[in-house]
Amino acid sequence: MTGVRTGLDRIADGDSDAVRLVAGRKVGLLAHAASVDRSLRSAASVLQGAGAHVAALFGPEHGFAGAAQDMVRVGNTDETDVPVYSLYGDDAEDLSPKPGWLRGLDAIVIDLQDVGSRYYTYVWTAALTMKVAAAVGTDVVLLDRPNPIGGARVEGAPQREGYLSFVGLYPVAVRHGLTIAELMQWVCDRERIDRDALQIVTMTGWTRSMQWNDTGLPWVMPSPNMPTVDTALVYPGGCMVEGTKLSEGRGTTRPFELWGAPGLDVGPLLELDLHGVTLRPVEFTPTFHKYAGRSCSGVQVHVTDPWVFRPYEAYLRMLAAVLPSLPAEERWRTEKYEFVSDRPAIDLLTGGPEFRMTVEEGASLDEVLAEEARGAAKFDDERRQAWLYEK
């Protein structure tokens, strides 16, 4: 078989080293809609076929079925023989499984498709679940998956002190360049959890230089607004639009690639010298979320060279080009964001107040970008201790 085999694929293929971790065991499964093997069979089905007794299901943000929109509470369900526990509820305490939900399980299996950006909350759900499992003595079996935007590049500094949140529970780079299993090993080291408590089913065939289209794997939306691999590629930058009052394109078919607002002057965007990308002026009308039913002026971000394109820097520059021309009250999102209400959303996303303050002052981004690059380089060195795959 050619191409990449995920951890779940190895179980589906009968790989004895992988199957022995689940066969004959009573397990919980933390998964979502993209938790499928290369034949598109669900993780629950594959585990049951390998002889596991799937006794409980756990869903991250957007729910086990992957149907809920961003920041929408998902409740527990017990309408079938297997209970489905939500790890995304009304407050921050609902982000971790209750210890009683894990007791009686031989292991909890984690199979989540990440997209390589610290804002994407699935990795933090995995980390919180791992911490609770370690506390109650339940084994964790983590099935690894590719980082769809590759494992070779790092962008954006880790968060500054005081700016950790559910869009970054630990200080990591915006584009961290790790697989979910590697990132969980990194968390183990920070939390002083024995790495042996984390049983990882690694991939075969994956290298750090691969992007998703190199893997031979089917793309399944891991969340409602991550429809394509193109979306994942821009997401390390595009998600920052959430921290503003501009539309990030939710309610369209190309979220995070499309962004803008009613009457936005896109002229300054078209004058930017960005690399590996073309900005196309567009008009779009979101069907829900910000400016639902209203015509918005903006751009679509077309990546022409993913090896050259730097999404985090590109979106910082784009936002800095248009926000100063807007009235102060039309710039930044002020509503509660991912359970935090005492700091602006943009500060949580960028990891500190520096970018917002620079925009407010109308100052050059040069020092902000230089500091982001220094932080990224430092994290790039640090992350290598968690690597499971070489170049």
Domains identified in the chain and CATH numbers: 7-218 (3.40.50.12170), 229-378 (3.90.1150.140)
- Quote the CA–CA distance of 5 and 154 in Å, as a whole number: 24
Residue 76 has pLDDT above 80, yes or no: no
Q: What's the whole-number mean pLDDT along residues 42-46?
A: 97
Residue 197 is predicted with a pLDDT of 85
Residue 177 is predicted with a pLDDT of 98
Residue 340 has pLDDT above 90, yes or no: yes
Nearest in space to 301 (alpha carbons), one of 203, 232, 215, 214: 232
Rounded to the nearest integer, the mean pLDDT of the chain is: 94
| Structural element, H or E, at residue 198 | strand 198-201
Q: What's the whole-number mean pLDDT along residues 78-105?
A: 88
The two structure tokens encoding residue 12: 């589906």
**φ, ψ of residue 328 in degrees (nearest 5):** -55, -40
- How would residue 78 be classed by pLDDT, with cut points 50, 70 and 90? low
Q: What's the whole-number mean pLDDT along residues 114-131?
A: 97
Residue 64 is predicted with a pLDDT of 84
Residue carrying the six token digits 């499992």: 133
- How would residue 89 be classed by pLDDT, with cut points 50, 70 and 90? confident
More confident residue, 58 or 62: 58
Beta carbons of 188 and 195 less than 8 angstroms apart: yes
**What's the one-letter identity of residue 344?**
P
Q: CB-hemisphere CA count at 13 Å for 339?
A: 18
Q: What's the whole-number mean pLDDT along residues 101-123?
A: 97
Contacts of 83 (CB under 8 A, 6+ apart): 56, 57, 76, 77
Residue 71 is predicted with a pLDDT of 47
Q: What's the whole-number mean pLDDT along residues 357-380?
A: 97
Residue 1 has pLDDT above 60, yes or no: no
- How would residue 66 be classed by pLDDT, with cut points 50, 70 and 90? low
Contacts of 310 (CB under 8 A, 6+ apart): 155, 275, 276
Say if strands 139-143 and 107-111 run parallel, antiparallel, or are unpaired: parallel
